[in-house]
Amino acid sequence: MEKEAHEQYEYARKRIRQKKILYFHFVLFLLGSLFLFVANRFFGFSIGTEQNWCIWIITLWFFIFILHFIKIYITDRFMNKKWEREQIDRLIALQQKRINQLESSINDNPENKI
């Protein structure tokens, strides 16, 4: 039982760390976007161009943030250690079933007997 409690603790610790990093990424995104917007509008980094280059960077960064959000709250939530264990157990059972079928076909075939 102690091993199971330790695994639950480690899983919870990992999830909290992932969420903490996601929140940090969000704050960094907000501050970075604000800085890029101010640099583009008020400090003249866009002189000579009519394009709002900061909008493209902020949009790309937002897309990356959305991917990070999906990974933390959707993908990792369902495909965790328990899911991995179930998949491994299922594949091992399929392999063992196939091995048993091959062994029985070898044993049942009279041509293979010495």
> Which DSSP state fits 1?
-
Integer CA distances (angstroms), 49 to 37, 38, 44, 61, in order:
15, 16, 10, 21
Q: What is the mean pLDDT of residues 40-51?
A: 68
Which of 34 and 77 is assigned the larger pLDDT? 34
DSSP string, 32-60: HHHHHHHHHHTS-TTTT--S-HHHHHHHH
Mean pLDDT along residues 15-32: 94
Q: Which of 14, 9, 90 is nearest to 1 (CA)?
A: 9
pLDDT in tens, 50-106: 667 788 889 999 999 999 999 988 888 777 777 888 889 999 999 999 999 988 888
pTM: 0.64
Q: What was the pLDDT predicted at 45?
A: 65
- pLDDT at 113 (0 to 100): 57
Is the pLDDT confidence value at 31 over 80? Answer: yes
